[in-house]
Chain A
Amino acid sequence: MQALYAQLLVGLINGSFYALLSLGLAVIFGMLNIINFAHGALYMMGAFVAYFLLNNDYLSIGYWPALIIAPIVVGIFGMILERTMLQWLTGLDHLYGLLLTFGMALIIQGVFQNYFGSSGLPYAIPDQLKGGMNLGFMFLPVYRGWVVVFSLVVCLATWFLIEKTQLGAYLRAATENPTLVRAFGINVPRMITLTYGLGVGLAALAGVLSAPINQVRPLMGADLIIVVFAVVVIGGMGSIMGSIITGFALGVIEGLTKYFYPEASNTVVFVLMVLVLLVKPTGLTGRAA
Chain B
Amino acid sequence: MKTRSIASFLLGTALSLTAVGAACAQDKTVKIGALSDQSGLYADLGGPGSTLAAQMAVEDSGLAAKGWKIDIISGDHQNKPDIGTAIARQWFDVDKVDVIVDVPNSGVALAVNNVIKEKNGVYINSGAATSDLTNAQCSPNTVHWTYDTYMLAHTTGQALVKAGGDTWFFLTADYAFGAALERDTTAVVLANGGKVVGGVKHPLNTPDFSSFLLQAQSSKAKIIGLANAGGDTTNTIKQAAEFGITKGGQKLAALLLFLTDVKAIGLETAQGLNFTETFYWDMNDQTRAFSKRFSGKMKNGAPPTMVQAGVYAGLRHYFKALEALGGNPHDGVKVVEKMKSMPTEDDLFGKGEIQPNGRTIHNAYLFEVKKPSESKAPWDFYKLVGTVSGDQAFTPLSESKCALLKK
Taking a contact as CB atoms under 8 Å apart, the answer to whether A266 and B215 are in contact is no
State the CA gap A220–B264 with chains docked (Å).
14
Assess the A118–B268 pair: CB atoms within 8 A: no
**A122-B265, A213-B239, A265-B203 known; 12 other A-B pairs, CB under 8 Å?**
A117-B300, A117-B302, A119-B234, A119-B264, A122-B238, A122-B268, A132-B244, A214-B207, A219-B39, A259-B211, A265-B202, A266-B203
| Cβ–Cβ contact B44 & A119, under 8 A | yes
Nearest first, the 10 closest Cβ-Cβ pairs linking A and B are A122-B266, A258-B211, A118-B43, A119-B44, A266-B203, A117-B44, A120-B264, A119-B264, A10-B210, A141-B242
How far apart are the CA atoms of A11 and B214 in the complex, in Å? 12
Interface: A272 (CB within 8 A): no
State the Cβ distance, A11 to closest chain B Cβ, in Å: 8
Interchain CB contact under 8 A, B243 and A141: yes
Smallest Cβ-Cβ distance to A132: which chain B residue:
B244
Tell whether A259 pairs with B215 under 8 Å between CB atoms, given A132-B243, A213-B239, A220-B207: yes
Interface assignment of A14: CB less than 8 Å from any CB of chain B: yes
Within 8 A of B (CB), among A114-134: 114-122, 124-125, 131-132
Question: Which B35-80 residues have a C-beta within 8 angstroms of A?
Answer: 39-45, 47
B254-300, CB < 8 A from A: 260-261, 263-266, 268-269, 299-300
Q: Are A10 and B214 in contact (CB under 8 A)?
A: yes
Q: Which residue of B lies closest to A214 (CB)?
A: B207
CB distance A215 to B300 under 8 Å? no
B230 contact set on A, CB distance < 8 A: 119
Q: CA of A11 to CA of B238 in the docked complex: distance in angstroms? A: 18
- One digit per residue, 1 when the CB lies within 8 angstroms of any chain B CB and 0 when it does not, for chain A 210-225 equals 0001110101100110
Interface size for chain A: under 10, 10 to 19, 20 to 34, or 35 or more residues? 35 or more
Q: With an 8 A cutoff between CB atoms, is A102 at the interface?
A: no
B200 at the interface (CB under 8 A from A): yes
B260 contacts A119, C-beta separation under 8 Å = yes
Contact status of A124 and B261, CB under 8 A, knowing A10-B210, A265-B202: no
Q: By the criterion CB–CB under 8 Å, are A119 and B217 in contact?
A: no
Name the residue among A10, A121, A224 with the largest chain B CB count within 10 angstroms: A10
Residues of chain B having any CB pair with chain A under 8 Å? 39-45, 47, 174, 200-203, 205-208, 210-212, 214-215, 217-218, 230-231, 234-235, 238-239, 242-244, 248, 260-261, 263-266, 268-269, 299-300, 302
Q: Which chain B positions have C-beta within 8 A of A6?
A: 214, 218
Q: Are B234 and A215 in contact (CB under 8 A)?
A: yes
The proximity string for A residues 250-283 relative to B, scoring 1 for CB distances below 8 Å and 0 otherwise, is 0000010011001101100000000000000000
Q: Quick check: is A3 within 8 A (CB to CB) of the other chain?
A: yes
Are A120 and B231 interface neighbours, CB within 8 A?
yes
**Neighbouring A residues of B217 by C-beta, 8 Å:** 139
Partner of B44, one of A10, A114, A118, A131: A118
Question: Contacts A141-B242, A263-B201 given: A117-B43 contact, CB under 8 Å?
Answer: yes
Q: How far is the CB of B192 from chain A (nearest CB, A)?
A: 27
* A239 contacts the other chain (CB 8 A): no
User: For B243, what are the chain A residues with a Cβ–Cβ distance below 8 Å?
Assistant: 132, 139, 141
Question: How many angstroms between the C-alpha atoms of A7 and B44 in the bound complex?
Answer: 33
Instruction: For the complex formed, measure the closest distance between the CB of B328 and the CB atoms of chain A, giving whole angstroms.
Output: 34
A143 to B231, CA, bound (A): 21
Q: Is the CB of B234 within 8 A of A120?
A: yes
Query: Is A138's beta carbon under 8 Å from chain B?
Result: yes
Bound CA span A131–B236, Å: 17
Cβ-based interface call for A113 (8 A): yes
Q: Does A31 contact B (CB under 8 A)?
A: no
Q: Could you show 19 A-B contacts with beta carbons less than 8 Å apart?
A: A3-B215, A6-B214, A113-B39, A117-B260, A117-B302, A118-B41, A118-B47, A119-B43, A119-B264, A122-B265, A124-B266, A125-B242, A139-B248, A144-B242, A213-B239, A215-B235, A215-B238, A263-B174, A265-B202
| B44 pairs with A215, CB closer than 8 A | no
Q: Is A105 an interface residue (CB 8 A)?
A: no
Q: Which residue of B lies closest to A113 (CB)?
A: B39
Shortest beta-carbon distance, A234 to chain B, in Å?
Answer: 19
A54 CB, nearest partner CB in chain B, Å = 12
Given contacts A14-B208, A215-B231, A258-B211, contact A119 B263 (CB under 8 A): yes
User: Which residues of chain B come closer than 8 Å to A120, judged between CB atoms?
Assistant: 231, 234, 264
> How distant is the Cα of A151 from the Cα of B239 in the complex, in angstroms?
20
Q: Which residues of A contact B211 (CB under 8 A)?
A: 7, 10-11, 255, 258-259, 262, 265
Note all chain A residues with C-beta closer than 8 A to B40. 118, 219
A13 in the interface (beta carbon within 8 A): yes
Indicate whether A115 sits within 8 Å of B299 (C-beta atoms), given known contacts A139-B217, A143-B242, A217-B231.
Answer: yes
* A194 CB, nearest partner CB in chain B, Å: 31
Complex Cα distance, B215 from A119, in Å, reads 26
Bound: A186/B251 CA distance, A: 62
B239: chain A residues within 8 A (beta carbon):
213
A3 touching B202 by the CB < 8 A rule? Answer: no
Q: Cβ of A2: which chain B residues have Cβ within 8 Å of it?
A: 218
Residues of B within 8 A of A141 (CB): 242-244
CA distance A215 to B266 in the complex (A): 10
Once bound together, how far apart are the Cα atoms of A196 and B201, in whole Å? 40
Taken together as a complex, chains A and B put the C-alpha atoms of A141 and B41 apart, in Å, by 26
Write the nearest CB–CB distance from B36 to chain A, whole angstroms: 11
